[in-house]
C-alpha cells in the first residue's frame, strides 16, 4: 500500500505509529544489546559505564537518530536519492556509503544469525549437540569452521529475512516487528528473573551495577567514553542510513523527537535487561564473562547445562529471543539496500529483494567460510572493524555536514518540530548537530583508528 509520493513515484509508508516504533526498535535492538552491551558494561566499570552510556545515548545517540529521521522524512527517498548533492550531476557519496556499510555489516550479521539458528534448532532437539561433550568452546569452534553446516544455517537465516522483506514495509517489516518486539521483551524479562534467582547471582549484579574504580584506572575515562560512544552507535544502528530509510516511510503526523526518545529509551532498557539476564547467570555458573560470541555460544551453554532439563527450556527461550533481535536488525540493514534498488531500477519489490538477497547470500557465505580453513582471513572481524571504526563515524560526520549545508538548519528544525507541542529544544538540537555531535564522532574515529593500529592511549 503506497501512501507517500515523491516525484510522481509512489512510496511505502508505515501504517501506524506503533508499527513504525516497533520496526525502529527492532532495528536497534540486536546482537549489540544482547551480547555486546553486558560484556562491555562490566569490563569498562559497571555503574560508571552505565551512567556515561546513558548520557552518551541521550546526547549523541538521540541527536544522530533524530538527524537521520529528519533527513529521511524531509527527502522522502531511499539513501541514494536522499543524499543527492549536485544540482545537475547527481552525485551522492554519502548515499553510497549508506549502501556499502549496511552491505558489509549484514554480510557478517547473517553469519552470526545462522549460528543462532543452529543453536536454537540444536536446543529444540534436546541440546545434546553441546551437552554430550561438555567442551562448549570446541563445539562452537567445530561448528563455525564446518564449511557446509555453517553455510546452511546462514542461508536459513537469510531466507527468514527474505520472507519478511518480500512483503514490503507494511505487510512485511511492520507486521512482523509488531509481534516479535513485544514477544522479545516478555521473554527477556522472564529470563532475567530466572537468572536473578540463581545462586550467586549477586556477584553478577555487582559486576554490572557497582562502580568499578579499578577499571576506571585501568582504562582511563577517555577509553570508557569512547567505548560508550562506539556502543551507542552500534546499538542504535546510526551512521548507516537505516533511520534515514525508515524515516522516509514516516508520514508528517509523526512526532520525531518523541519517537527517537522512545527508541533510545527502549534500546537502552533492553540492553540493561540483557545484562540482568546474562551476567548473573554466568557468574552463578562460576564462569568469567567473556566477549561477544564467546559469551553467547560458549559461556551460556555451560550455564544452561547447570539447570538440567529446565536449562533446555531456558536455552530455547534465550535463542528465540536473540533470534528475534538479530532477525529484525538484519531486516533493517537489508531494507536500506532493497529500498535503493527498488526505487532506482524497474525491478519492483520482489525483484529488488531477490537481487539484494542474492548478492548478500554470496558475500555472507564467503564470510561464513572465512571462519574455517577455506578462507584464511577472518572477514567477520575485518568487516566489523572497518564498519565500526571507520565507516560509521565518517558517515555520521558527513550526515551532520549534509544536514547543515544541504537541507539547512531552519528547514531541519521545521521538519523536526512538525507535530511537536514544545519547540524550546530545537535550538539546543541545532547546536548539538552543528558542533557537539561531529566533534564527539571525530573523537570516536581517532580513538578507534589508534586502538586498531595498536596504539595505547
Ligand atoms: N543495532 C543492531 C544491534 O545492536 O545489533 C544492529 C546493528 C547495527 C549491528 C549496526 C551492527 C552495527 F554495526
Report residue 456's pLDDT band, with 50, 70 and 90 as the boundaries: low
Q: How far is the CA of 115 from the centre of ligand 1 (A)?
A: 16
Residue 325 CA: which ligand 1 atom is closest? 5
The number of beta carbons lying within 10 Å of the beta carbon of residue 410 is: 10
Which residue's alpha carbon is at the smallest distance from atom 8 of ligand 1?
237
pLDDT at 402 over 60: yes
Q: What is the largest CA-CA distance in the chain?
A: 68
pLDDT of residue 290 exceeding 70, the answer is: no
Q: Is the CB of 234 under 6 A from ligand 1?
A: yes
In this predicted structure, what is the pLDDT of residue 148? Answer: 93
Q: How far apart are CA 281 and CA 337, in angstroms?
A: 38
Mean pLDDT within 151-162: 97
Grade residue 343 by pLDDT with cuts at 50, 70 and 90. Answer: very high
CB contact set of 202 (below 8 Å; sequence gap of 6+): 280
Cell numbers standing for residue 166: 518480500
Residue 449: its H or E element:
helix 437-452
Rounded Cα–Cα distance for residues 263 and 438 (Å): 21
Residue 457 lies in a domain: no
Q: Name the grid cell of 313.
A: 527450556
Burial 15-52 (b: 16+ CB within 10 A, else e): bebebbbbbbbbbbbbbbbbbbbbbbbbbbbbebbbeb
Q: Kindly give the number of the ligand 1 atom that is closest to the alpha carbon of 326.
A: 5
Residue 421: helix, strand or coil by DSSP?
coil
Q: Which residue has the cell 562448549?
A: 136
Q: Give the range among 243-252, 283-292, 366-375, 441-450 with minimum mean pLDDT.
A: 283-292
Q: Identify the helix (H) or strand (E) that includes residue 12.
A: strand 9-12
Alpha-carbon Rg for the chain, nearest whole angstrom, is 21
Look up residue 287 and give its three cell numbers.
564462569
| C-alpha–C-alpha distance, residues 137 and 190, integer Å | 27
Q: What is the mean pLDDT of residues 406-428?
A: 87
- 74 or 219, higher pLDDT: 74
* d(C-alpha 323, C-alpha 312), whole Å: 16
Helical (H) or strand (E) element with 2? strand 2-6
What local confidence, expressed as pLDDT, does residue 40 receive? 85
**What pLDDT does 419 receive?**
79
Q: What residue has cell string 507494511? A: 170
231 CA from centroid of ligand 1 (Å): 9
CA distance linking residue 74 with residue 147, whole number of Å? 45
Enumerate the β-bridge partners of residue 113.
none
Residue 297 CA, chain-centre distance (Å), reads 19
Residue 454, C-beta contacts closer than 8 angstroms, at least 6 positions apart: none
Candidates 457, 400, 404; CA nearest to 65 is 400
Mean pLDDT lowest among 53-67, 181-195, 296-310: 296-310
Where is 73: in which H helix or E strand? Answer: helix 62-75
Per-residue pLDDT, averaged over 292-315, amounts to: 87
Distance CA 180, CA 332 (A): 14
Q: What angle do CA 222, 226, 230 make, to 5 degrees?
A: 175
241 pocket-lining for ligand 1 (C-beta < 6 Å) = no
* Total residues belonging to the chain: 457
For residue 179, being part of any structural domain is answered with yes
How far apart (Å, rounded) are the C-alpha atoms in residues 376 and 90? 40
Q: How far apart are the first and last CA of the chain?
A: 53
pLDDT at 1 over 60: no
pLDDT above 70 for 457: no
Q: What is the mean pLDDT of residues 397-406?
A: 94
Between 308 and 119, residue with greater pLDDT: 119
C-beta of 268 in contact with ligand 1 (< 6 A)? no
Q: Which of 329, 333, 383 to mutate to test the pocket of ligand 1 (most atoms within 8 A of CB)?
A: 329
- Closest by alpha carbon to 389, among 453, 330, 437, 337? 453
**Residue 408 — very low, low, confident or very high, per pLDDT cuts 50/70/90?**
very high
Give me the helix-helix angle, 93-124 and 147-165, nearest 10°.
110
Q: Has residue 287 got a pLDDT over 90?
A: no
Grid coordinates belonging to 154? 546462514
Q: What is the count of structural domains for the chain?
A: 1
31 lines ligand 1 (CB under 6 A): yes
Q: Using CA atoms, how far apart are residues 130 and 297, in angstroms rounded to an integer?
A: 10
| Contact of 379 with 367, CB cutoff 8 Å | yes
**Host domain of residue 339:** 4-452
Q: Is the CB of 388 under 6 A from ligand 1?
A: yes
- Name the nearest CA neighbour of 371 among 164, 109, 175, 146: 146
> What is the CA(96)–ligand 1 centre distance, in A?
19
CA angle 342, 32, 451 (to 5 degrees): 105
- Considering the domain boundaries, does residue 343 fall inside one? yes
Work out the average pLDDT over 238-257: 94
37 touches 196 (CB < 8 A)? no
Check residue 172 and give its pLDDT: 94
The residue assigned the cell 546499538 is 235
Q: How many CA atoms lie within 13 A of 64 on its CB side?
A: 35
From the CB of 237, is ligand 1 less than 6 Å away?
Answer: yes
The answer to the question of residue 218 being in a domain is: yes
- pLDDT score recorded for residue 448: 81
38 falls within a domain? yes
pTM: 0.93
**Choice between 448 and 181, residue whose per-residue pLDDT is larger:** 181
| Grid coordinates belonging to 340 | 535503493
The Å distance, Cα 316 to ligand 1 centre, comes to 23
Q: Which residues pair with 4 in a beta bridge?
A: 11
Ligand 1 atom 12 nearest Cα: 234
CATH number of the domain within which 99 lies:
1.10.4160.10
Task: Give exposure, 234-262, as e/b (b: 16+ Cβ within 10 Å).
Answer: bbbbbbbbbbbbbbbbbeeebbbbebbee
Residue 380 belongs to a domain: yes
Look at residue 400 and tell me if it is in a domain: yes
pLDDT of 452 reads: 78
What pLDDT score does 2 carry?
54
Atom of ligand 1 nearest to the CA of 388: 13
Counting residues of the chain whose pLDDT is more than 70, the rounded percentage is 98
Amino acid at each position: 500500500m503506497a501512501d507517500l509520493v515523491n516525484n510522481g513515484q509512489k512510496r511505502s509508508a508505515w501504517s501506524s505509529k506503533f508499527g513504525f516504533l516497533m520496526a525502529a526498535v527492532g532495528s536497534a535492538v540486536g546482537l549489540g544489546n544482547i551480547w555486546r552491551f553486558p560484556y562491555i558494561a562490566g569490563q569498562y566499570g559497571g555503574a560508571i559505564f552505565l551512567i556515561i552510556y546513558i548520557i552518551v545515548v541521550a546526547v549523541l545517540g538521540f541527536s544522530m537518530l533524530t538527524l537521520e529521521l529528519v533527513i529521511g522524512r524531509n527527502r522522502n527517498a531511499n539513501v541514494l536519492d536522499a543524499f543527492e548533492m549536485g544540482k545537475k550531476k547527481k552525485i551522492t557519496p554519502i548515499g553510497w556509503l549508506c549502501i556499502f556499510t549496511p552491505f558489509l555489516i549484514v554480510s557478517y550479521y547473517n553469519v552470526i544469525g545462522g549460528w543462532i539458528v543452529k543453536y536454537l534448532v540444536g536446543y529444540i532437539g534436546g541440546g545434546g549437540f553441546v551437552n554430550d561433550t561438555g567442551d562448549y568452546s570446541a563445539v562452537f569452534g567445530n561448528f563455525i569452521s564446518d564449511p557446509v553446516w555453517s553455510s546452511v544455517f546462514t542461508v536459513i537465516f537469510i531466507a527468514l529475512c527474505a520472507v519478511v522483506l518480500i512483503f514490503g514495509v507494511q505487510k512485511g517489516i511492520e507486521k512482523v516487528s509488531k509481534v516479535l518486539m513485544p514477544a522479545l521483551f516478555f521473554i527477556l524479562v522472564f529470563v532475567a528473573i530466572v537468572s536473578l534467582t540463581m545462586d550467586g547471582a549477586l556477584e553478577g549484579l555487582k559486576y554490572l551495577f557497582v562502580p568499578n574504580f579499578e577499571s576506571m584506572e585501568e582504562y582511563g575515562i577517555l577509553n570508557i567514553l569512547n567505548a560508550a560512544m562506539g556502543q551507542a552507535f552500534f546499538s542504535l544502528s546510526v551512521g548507516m542510513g537505516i533511520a534515514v530509510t525508515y524515516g522516509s516511510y514516516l508520514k508528517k503526523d509523526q512526532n520525531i523527537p518523541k519517537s527517537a526518545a522512545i527508541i533510545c529509551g527502549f534500546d537502552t532498557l533492553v540492553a540493561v535487561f540483557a545484562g540482568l539476564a546474562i551476567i548473573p547467570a554466568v557468574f552463578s555458573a562460576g564462569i568469567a564473562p567473556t566477549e561477544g560470541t564467546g559469551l553467547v555460544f560458549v559461556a551460556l551453554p555451560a550455564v544452561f547445562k547447570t539447570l538440567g532439563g529446565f536449562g533446555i527450556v531456558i536455552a530455547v527461550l534465550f535463542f528465540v529471543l536473540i533470534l528475534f533481535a538479530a532477525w529484525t536488525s538484519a531486516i533493517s540493514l537489508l531494507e536500506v539496500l532493497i529500498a535503493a534498488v527498488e526505487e532506482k531500477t524497474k525491478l519492483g519489490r520482489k525483484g529488488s529483494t531477490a537481487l539484494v538477497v542474492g548478492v548478500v547470500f554470496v558475500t555472507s557465505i564467503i564470510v561464513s567460510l572465512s571462519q574455517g580453513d577455506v578462507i584464511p582471513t577472518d572477514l567477520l572481524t575485518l568487516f566489523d572493524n572497518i564498519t565500526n571504526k571507520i565507516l560509521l563515524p565518517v558517515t555520521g560526520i558527513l550526515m551532520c555536514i549534509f544536514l547543515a549545508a544541504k537541507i539547512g538548519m531552519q528547514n531541519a528544525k521545521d521538519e523536526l518540530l512538525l507535530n511537536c507541542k514544545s519547540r524550546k529544544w530545537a535550538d539546543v538540537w541545532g547546536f548539538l548537530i552543528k558542533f557537539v555531535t561531529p566533534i564527539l564522532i571525530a573523537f570516536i574515529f581517532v580513538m578507534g583508528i589508534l586502538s586498531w593500529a595498536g596504539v595505547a592511549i
